[in-house]
A and B are shown apart, each in its own frame.
Chain A
Amino acid sequence: MEATVQVTHLRKSFGPVEAVKDVSFEVYPGEIFGLLGPNGAGKTTTIRMMLDIFKADEGQVRLFGDGDMTEEKKNRIGYLPEDRGLYKDLKLEPTLLYLATLKGLEEAVARERLEAWLRRLDLYEHRQKKVQELSKGMQQKAQIIATLLHEPELIVVDEPFAGLDPVNTRLVKEIMEEQRQAGRAIIMSTHQMYQVEALCSRIVLISQGEAMLYGEVADIKRQFSGNAVTLQGQGDFSALPGVLEVRRENGAWHLALETGVAPQELFRALAARGDIKIERFEIAEPSLDDIFIAVVKGGAAAEAPHA
Chain B
Amino acid sequence: MHKAFLVARHAYLEAVKKKSFLIATLGLPLLLVVVMVIAIVVQLSGSSKLPLGYVDHTGLFDPALWDRVERPPQVELVRFSETSEAQAALEAQEIQAYYVIPKDYLEAPLLELYYWETGPGELVVASFEGFMQFNLILQAPATARTRLLRGADLTIRSLDGRRQVGGDSFLNMILPFAAGFAFYFVVMSAGGYMLQAVTNEKENRTIEVLATSLSPEQLIGGKAVGLMAVVLTQLLLWGGVLVLVGLVGARYFPILYTLEMPWDLIGLVLLFFLPSYLLVASVMTAVGSVVVDQQQGQQIAGLLNMPFIFPLFFVGLIMTNPNSPMLVALTLFPTTSFITLTMRWGFTAVPLWQMGVSWVLTVGAAALSVWLAARLFRIGMLQYGQRLKLKNIVAALREGH
Measured CB to CB, the residues of A under 8 A from B are 15, 48, 51-55, 71, 74-75, 77, 79-81, 83-88, 90, 98-99, 101-104, 146
Q: Chain B residues with Cβ under 8 A from A146's Cβ?
A: 209
Partner of A81, one of B10, B209, B400: B209
For the complex, what is the distance from the CA of A72 to the CA of B223, rounded to whole Å?
A: 21
- Known A-B contacts A53-B382, A81-B209; the reply to A98 vs B6 at CB < 8 A is yes
The answer to whether A81 and B210 touch across the interface, beta carbons within 8 angstroms, is no
Measured CB to CB, the residues of B under 8 A from A are 3, 6-7, 10, 14, 200, 204-206, 208-215, 382, 384, 392, 395, 400-401
Given A48-B382, A53-B212, A83-B205; 5 other pairs, CB 8 A cutoff: A79-B209, A84-B209, A85-B204, A85-B206, A98-B10
For the complex, what is the distance from the CA of A37 to the CA of B200, rounded to whole Å?
A: 31
The answer to whether A99 and B209 touch across the interface, beta carbons within 8 angstroms, is yes
Q: Chain B residues with Cβ under 8 A from A55's Cβ?
A: 400-401
The answer to whether B206 and A53 touch across the interface, beta carbons within 8 angstroms, is no
The answer to whether A74 and B213 touch across the interface, beta carbons within 8 angstroms, is yes
What are 7 inter-chain pairs, A to B, with CB distance below 8 A?
A: A54-B401, A79-B208, A86-B206, A87-B204, A88-B204, A90-B14, A102-B210
For the complex, what is the distance from the CA of A146 to the CA of B214, rounded to whole Å?
A: 15
- Known A-B contacts A54-B401, A98-B6, A102-B3; the reply to A84 vs B205 at CB < 8 A is yes
For the complex, what is the distance from the CA of A53 to the CA of B377, rounded to whole Å?
A: 12
Interface of A is mostly: loop
Q: Chain B residues with Cβ under 8 A from A77's Cβ?
A: 212
For the complex, what is the distance from the CA of A104 to the CA of B2, rounded to whole Å?
A: 9
Partner of B213, one of A54, A84, A99: A99
For the complex, what is the distance from the CA of A85 to the CA of B400, rounded to whole Å?
A: 26
The answer to whether A79 and B212 touch across the interface, beta carbons within 8 angstroms, is yes
Q: Chain B residues with Cβ under 8 A from A71's Cβ?
A: 3, 214-215
- Known A-B contacts A15-B395, A51-B211, A51-B212; the reply to A102 vs B204 at CB < 8 A is no
- Known A-B contacts A55-B401, A102-B3; the reply to A74 vs B212 at CB < 8 A is yes
Q: Chain A residues with Cβ under 8 A from B209's Cβ?
A: 79-81, 84, 99, 146
For the complex, what is the distance from the CA of A115 to the CA of B330, rounded to whole Å?
A: 57
Q: Chain B residues with Cβ under 8 A from A53's Cβ?
A: 208, 211-212, 382
For the complex, what is the distance from the CA of A54 to the CA of B7, rounded to whole Å?
A: 22
- Known A-B contacts A71-B3, A87-B200, A98-B6; the reply to A81 vs B214 at CB < 8 A is no
Closest chain A residue to B381, Cβ basis: A53
The answer to whether B6 and A101 touch across the interface, beta carbons within 8 angstroms, is yes
The answer to whether A86 and B204 touch across the interface, beta carbons within 8 angstroms, is yes
For the complex, what is the distance from the CA of A142 to the CA of B3, rounded to whole Å?
A: 22
Q: Chain A residues with Cβ under 8 A from B382's Cβ?
A: 48, 53, 83
